[in-house]
Amino acid sequence: MFHRLLSPFKSNSFFLFGPRGTGKTTFLKEFFAEEKTFWIDLLDPAVEDRYCRSPETLTQELKALDKQVKWVVIDEVQKVPKLLDLVHFHIENSGIKFALTGSSARKLKKGSANLLAGRAFVNHMFPLTHQEMGGRFDLNDALQWGTLPKTTQLGTMGEKSAFLKAYALTYLKEEVWNEHLVRRLDPFRKFLEIAAQTNGQIINYSNIAKDVGVDTKTAQSYFEILEDTLLGVMLEPFHQSIRKRQRKNPKFYLFDPGVKRALEGSLTQSLTPGSYVFGRAFEHYVILEAHRLNDYHQKDFRFSYMRTKDDAEIDLVVERPGKPLALVEIKSADRIDERATRGIEAFAKDLKKAEAFCLSRDVIAKKIGRVTALPWDCGLKALGL
């Protein structure tokens, strides 16, 4: 059992959104271990059918509850959105608090479901972070297999590979098709493969649309589905003007390196330190960790990337309220010197008030010119994450 960084307020009802398999149910069982709770599991087909046919069953059951029950957990609430009207009523009138889990709010919003108008706080659950895994964390394993909790419980490469392949298929069937998030499954299946192959690259919507066989707006909507279901994050291009920021195409990163490799069919390929593929996987993982830790620690940092007209690039730009702008170069090398920091040094000279960092596998902290070079995990802490 891992101690998760997430810590919802028990003073208020809350949503807990996250992809399947990130540990939402396990977390809540531990979170409410000392609380008397009433649990509704909508993943159980019989339970889902009962509430779909008669949502008012919830009110009848709540009236019959022991007065010591202060929390009601509704698992995968997006399966019966009509329950949210009743949840809203009971939050206002009965004093009962609700913990509501789901893979995302997309289906709820699409169906104009009652999202409780701020009466329930919103929390997110991600795959395990290196901080949560502690001494059990292994960087090479994280890059190869990702950090969904289930992968940490499997002993062999064959088991991990089989799980991740099944996970990708389960997502297609249960999250996308069964929840009616797309009209046609085959183009979306092809899109997922291409999204994995172009992970971390600037999105060219028109090219992806042609490869998938859909129009550009549909390709854009597919990326929105992945972002809304927390299966990926967008990294926008940096610009001080928000309006100009939105005119350039973002990068997209899938939410877990193992799932990314499963979708592109590369699970059997080993990741060799020093190779281009290893470097891309390392950058992917560090950027995901920054997003996860920012969310868990409620930092409100804004992340972007920076690229000049001559293709010079900064991997990660971090806007930190009350702190200088942080320019971050991510290198998978295990030894950092002036050659690795030359590019970010040039950017730092142009942005004189910014702080420059190089995060890598080098275990020795160094100051090279204006650049602070740190082991990647120490670097995330130095950024304030």
Look at residue 334 and give its three-state secondary structure: coil
Give the pLDDT of residue 310. 79
The structure tokens 């609700």 sit at 98
Q: Quote the pLDDT of residue 241.
A: 57
pLDDT value for 112? 42
Q: How far apart are CA 28 and CA 41, in angstroms?
A: 12
Count Cβ neighbours within 10 Å for each residue of 159-178 and write b for 16 or more, e otherwise: ebbebbbebbeebbeebbee
DSSP characters over 206-217: HHHHHHHTS-HH
Residue 380 to residue 321: CA distance in whole angstroms:
16
- Taking every pair of Cα atoms in the chain, the longest distance, rounded to a whole number of angstroms, is 69
Query: Which residue ranges in the chain fall short of pLDDT 70?
Result: 104-118, 178-180, 240-247
Cβ pair 142, 39 in contact under 8 A: no
Write the CB contacts of 90 (distance below 8 Å, at least 6 apart in sequence).
59, 62, 72, 96, 98
Residue 322 C-alpha from the chain's centroid: 25
**Residue 345 to residue 198: CA distance in whole angstroms:** 28
pLDDT in tens, 323-346: 999 999 999 999 999 999 999 999
Domain coordinates in residue numbering, the chain = 14-124, 130-267, 280-383
CATH T-level assignment (fold) for domain 280-383? Trna Endonuclease; Chain: A, domain 1 (3.40.1350)
**290 HSE (CA, 13 A, CB side):** 30
Pick the CATH number of 130-267 from 3.30.300.30, 1.10.10.10, 3.40.440.10, 3.40.50.150: 1.10.10.10
pLDDT tens-digit map of 23-35: 999 999 999 999 8
Q: Rounded CA gap, 104 and 227, in Å?
A: 9
CATH superfamily of 14-124: P-loop containing nucleotide triphosphate hydrolases (3.40.50.300)
